[in-house]
């Protein structure tokens, strides 16, 4: 792999079964199952939070911090939609991600999809990476 990692973002629409999209335990289980299936290592989470507001903005957000990066979803049951973001320095199969969503909600269609190769200019040499990182940041010491 000649880049740091892949980031898959999805918008899933026309979700057949929205019952579990407001269920904290179901979403916690889903996030664990998803990252296990794609071979990632959980270091924190899953954390599930409720988004309140009008129906078009209400739902749940779930995130898990991975040794390889992160995975997050945002559910909008009233709109029958889910947004997902999976970023990893370890390769994973998009088909596995979609299969896990099918297990959670049944049928849907992918209305938005982006697969980005992240960090194509990121150096593999640790010293070069440190130089690149420190040269682009201002460090404030309190």
What is the residue extent of each domain of the chain? 5-135
> Is 5-135 CATH 3.30.70.20?
no
Taking only the tens place, the pLDDT of each residue in 10-51 is 999 999 999 999 999 999 999 999 999 888 888 888 999 999
Instruction: Give the residues across from 71 on adjacent strands.
Output: 64, 86
Q: What angle do CA 103, 35, 77 make, to 5 degrees?
A: 45
Place of tokens 């916690």: 28
Average pLDDT over residues 52-74: 90
Q: What is the pLDDT of residue 86?
A: 92
Task: Please give the structure tokens belonging to residue 114.
Answer: 């982006």
pTM of the model: 0.76
Q: What ranges in the chain are assigned the alpha helix state H?
A: 24-37, 94-105, 126-135
* Closest to 73 (Cα-Cα) out of 53, 40, 108, 48: 48
Residue 83 in this model has a pLDDT that exceeds 80 = yes
Nearest to 60 by CA among 81, 45, 75, 72: 75
Residue pair 10/113 in contact by the 8 Å Cβ criterion: yes
Is residue 32 within 8 Å of 42, Cβ to Cβ?
A: yes
pLDDT of residue 27: 96
């Amino acid at each position: 792999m000649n880049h740091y990692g892949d980031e898959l973002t999805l918008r899933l629409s026309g979700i057949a079964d929205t019952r579990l999209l407001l269920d904290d335990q179901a979403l916690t289980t889903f996030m664990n199952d998803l990252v296990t299936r794609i071979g990632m290592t959980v270091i924190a989470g899953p954390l599930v939070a409720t988004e309140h507001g009008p129906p078009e903005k209400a739902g749940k957000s779930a995130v898990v911090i991975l040794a390889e990066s992160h995975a997050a979803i945002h559910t909008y049951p009233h709109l029958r939609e889910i947004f997902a973001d999976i970023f990893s320095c370890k390769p994973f199969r998009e088909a596995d991600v979609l299969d896990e969503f099918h297990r959670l909600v049944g049928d849907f269609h992918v209305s938005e999809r982006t697969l980005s190769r992240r960090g194509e200019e990121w150096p593999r040499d640790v010293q070069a990476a440190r130089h690149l990182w420190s040269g682009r940041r201002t460090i404030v010491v309190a």
